[in-house]
C-alpha cells in the first residue's frame, strides 16, 4: 500500500505547495494594495489636473466674452458716431440744396484770368467805387449747382462710410 515514505513525500509536497500558495497570495495582496494605492494617487492627480484645465478654460472663456462685449460696445459707439456724422452731413446738404433752390445762395466759379493785353474790356484793377475784390467769377446755373451739390453729397456719404469702415477694421485688428 502506501508506504510511509510516500505519505511523507506527499505531505512534504503539500506543505511546500501550501507555503508557496500562501506566499503567493500574500505577495499578490501586497502588490494589489500597492497597485491600488498608486492607481488611486494617479487618478487623484489626473482629476486635479483636469479640474485645473477646466478652470483655465472657463477663465479663458470669460475673458474672451468680456473682450467681445467690450469690442461690441466700442463698435456700437462708433456706429452711433458715424450715423450722427452721416445725419449731420445729410442735413447740411438738404439746407444747401434748399438755399440753392430759393436763390438764397448762388454757386460761382473762378474764371480764367485774361491774358495781359488781350483787350477783353475788363479793367485790370477795380475802380474806387467797386465792391468786387479778387479774381473774376462766373455764376453757375441753378440746375448745374443742384447737380454739383448732389455729387458732393454722394461723395460726403462715401467718405463717412469709408471712415466708419476704417474705424471698424482698426477696432477689430486690436
122-167 confidence digits (pLDDT tens): 555 555 444 556 677 777 787 888 888 888 888 888 888 888 888 8
What confidence tier does 115 reach under pLDDT thresholds 50, 70, 90?
low
pLDDT at 130 (0 to 100)? 47
Determine phi and psi for 163, rounding to 5 degrees: -60, -40
> How far, in Å, CA of 174 to CA of 170, rounded?
6
Q: Answer whether 82's CB lies under 8 Å from 164's CB.
A: yes
23-47 confidence digits (pLDDT tens): 877 777 777 778 888 999 999 999 9
Angle at 16 between CA 14 and CA 20, to 5 degrees: 115
Pick from 12-26, 64-78, 115-129, 150-164: least confident: 115-129
pLDDT at 33 (0 to 100)? 77
Amino acid at each position: 500500500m502506501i508506504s510511509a515514505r510516500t505519505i511523507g513525500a506527499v505531505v512534504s509536497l503539500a506543505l511546500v505547495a501550501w507555503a508557496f500558495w500562501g506566499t503567493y497570495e500574500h505577495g499578490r495582496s501586497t502588490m494589489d494594495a500597492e497597485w491600488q494605492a498608486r492607481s488611486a494617487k494617479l487618478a487623484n492627480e489626473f482629476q486635479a489636473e483636469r479640474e485645473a484645465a477646466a478652470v483655465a478654460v472657463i477663465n479663458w472663456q470669460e475673458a474672451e466674452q468680456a473682450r467681445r462685449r467690450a469690442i461690441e460696445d466700442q463698435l456700437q459707439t462708433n456706429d452711433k458716431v458715424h450715423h450722427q456724422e452721416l445725419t449731420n452731413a445729410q442735413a447740411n446738404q438738404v439746407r444747401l440744396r434748399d438755399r440753392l433752390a430759393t436763390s438764397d445762395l448762388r454757386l460761382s466759379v473762378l474764371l480764367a484770368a485774361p491774358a495781359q493785353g488781350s483787350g477783353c474790356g475788363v479793367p485790370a484793377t477795380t475802380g474806387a467805387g467797386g465792391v468786387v475784390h479778387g479774381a473774376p467769377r462766373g455764376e453757375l446755373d441753378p440746375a448745374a449747382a443742384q447737380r454739383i451739390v448732389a455729387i458732393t453729397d454722394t461723395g460726403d456719404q462715401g467718405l463717412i462710410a469709408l471712415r466708419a469702415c476704417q474705424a471698424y477694421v482698426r477696432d477689430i485688428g486690436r
